[in-house]
Amino acid sequence: MHYLPLPRTVVPAVAIATVVLVVWLGWGSIRDPEGFWAPGDLSRYHAAVTHCMSCHEPFRGPVSAKCIQCHSEAYFAAGSTPSTATFHRDVIGQQQKCLGCHTEHRGPLANITSRKTHHDKSPLFSADSSS
C-alpha cells in the first residue's frame, strides 16, 4: 500500500511545538518543581519543605543523610520517647535507609510510616505500644 507523502509543514510544526514545550517545562521546573516532577504531593508532615534538594541528592535520590539533617539526634531527644530515639539511632547506625519505612509523595493525608518492615520488630509498633 502506497501512502502519499506528508505535508512539508507538519514536521517543522511539531518540532517547534516540542521546543516550546521543552522551554515551558524548564520554566515550570524552576517555578513549581513539585507540580512538574513529583509523583504526588508531600504529606502534611513535610508540607513546609519547598526545595527538592532538601531531601533529594542528584542522581542518588532521597538519602538518609538529608533526612537526619532535620530529624537529628536532638530532634528525637526533644520530641520522642527514649525507645523511639534509640530505635532510630540503631537503624541509622546499621546504615539502613529511612526510605525503607518512610515513603513520601503519597498525598497530604498519607501515613508516611510503613509498619510492615523492620518496625515490626521495633518497640514503637509492638502490641503494647499500640494499646
Partner 1 sequence: MDQAGLQIVSVAMPGEARGLRSIEMTPVIRRLVTIVICITAAIVGAWLFESVLSIGKPSPFAHSTTGHFMGWVGLGLILLVFVYPMKKRVDRNRRWPRNWFRVHMVAGVMGPLVILLHSGAHLHALVPLLALAAMAVVVVSGIVGQGVHYLVLRNLNDTRRQLHDEGFAADDVEVRLHRMAAQEEAFRLWQSIHAPMTLMFLVLAAIHVMGALYFGGF
CB 105 within 8 A of CB 38: yes
Contact between 106 and partner 1 by CB under 8 A: the answer reads: yes
Using the minimum distance from each CB to partner 1, give the nearer residue, 38 or 47: 38
Choices 2-10, 64-72, 89-97, 121-129; region in contact with partner 1 by CB under 8 A: 2-10
Question: CB neighbours of 125 closer than 8 A, spacing ≥ 6?
Answer: 115, 119
CB 102 within 8 A of CB 114: yes
Q: Residues binding partner 1: what is the number (CB under 8 A)?
A: 35
Contact between 37 and partner 1 by CB under 8 A: the answer reads: yes
Q: What is the dihedral of CA 68, 73, 77, 80, to 10 degrees?
A: 30
Q: Which of 23, 27, 40, 65 binds partner 1 (CB under 8 A)?
A: 40
Choices 9-17, 68-76, 79-87, 89-97; region in contact with partner 1 by CB under 8 A: 9-17
Q: What angle do CA 120, 126, 129 make, to 5 degrees?
A: 145
Choices 29-37, 43-51, 82-90, 122-130; region in contact with partner 1 by CB under 8 A: 29-37
